[in-house]
Structure 1
Amino acid sequence: MPFTLAATVEHEVDIKKSRFLGRVEPVASRADALAVVDALRAAHPDAAHVCWALLAGGDSGMSDDGEPSGTAGRPMLEVLRHHDLDGVLATVVRYYGGVKLGAGGLVRAYTDAIAGALVHADKVERIAMVQLALTLPYADENRVRHWLQQQGHEVLSADHDALVTLHVSLPQASVAPALAALTDLTAGRLGWPGKPG
């Protein structure tokens, strides 16, 4: 079961006069992650490197930002994987202190900056959500809305034409049981995209 983070957490590591400003945070997309990286570059114009790793399903990625290949982005990504995270961006802003750390030293520094931040991070279960368009007669609307509210499912919007269309957000694992319960509740009058004929 993948987790994400409740909030942004920062952690600083100082090694041989170099400062490594580690940060982990939840992000919704790769575009959001890259916007965070750009903002960090703008906020730290004197930094030697702004390295990052993103674990977000098919949008995952990483950058060593000029550090020797495999010494920054990859170790940061592995820390995120080890913690079973998804939808999380790890960044490290490095201020060079004048002493070379070597490949092993860099891997340890970037790993420690992210692992240290995760020690203080609150993990929350990442639940895959689905949006459905449910169609039903007006006579069933109040009953269906009441059931959805009792189950904790969110009604995002409603359209009122010949039928009522409720746009609903619910956990993916709840879709089949919800459709079965609502079909019973409406005596089979409930419709949704892909409903068997």
Structure 2
Amino acid sequence: MVFYFKARAEVGDYTIIMGLDKYENEELIKYGFPEDIWFHVDKMSSAHVYVRMHKGETIDNISEGLLEDCAQLVKANSIQGNKVNNVDVVYTPWANLKKTASMDVGQVGFHNPKMVRTVRVEKRINEIVNRLNKTKVERTPDLRAEWEAVNAAERAERKLQLREKKRREEMERLVKDRQSELRSYKGLMVAEKMTSNKDIASSTKSLQELEDDFM
């Protein structure tokens, strides 16, 4: 089971995702997307929460409102973190999550600790948590199938873009070749370099003139 929440409307159309337990968390780790940002209460057990950013956006594009929604949700879904104030929540891009064979189910590390950010949550804000819970939708998705479908669509899009790029390059080459041909033709047609039949006739000696020269 995976839970889907909607962030506050004023920050834009963003979906926040949370696994039911460590097994769903494992699937979310495995089949995440480059746009996903992962959240977890620091040094405490908690749910794994993700926000799916829009295409082309990164962790730097998370607004304060969206960050607060994610941090409040992950704090509220931590048995320990929900009971105390001044909790630190860590977050990082999905691609920075590190999973090794020796780790327990749902456990993760980081490829680059410098890419992990921290936000302090002073206390639970029930207004935010309750609003998010009202948007909650439970689904049992095939995360692998969704991941494969998105990747297939992206591969098809890249192929289309590559074909379009090659077509543009071929058109540009043809235009350049044509322009080169025109410049060459114009060079041959310069008046000073042209010779008319009259010029040829006037510059060529007659048979009689040639015979007189010989004599």
* Fold shared by both chains (TM-score > 0.5): no
Which has the larger helix fraction? 2
**What TM-score, normalized by structure 1, do the two folds share?**
0.28
Q: Which structure's CA Rg is the greater one?
A: 2
Larger RCO, structures 1/2 (Cα 8 Å, 6+ apart): 1
**What TM-score, normalized by structure 2, do the two folds share?**
0.26
Which has the larger strand fraction? 1
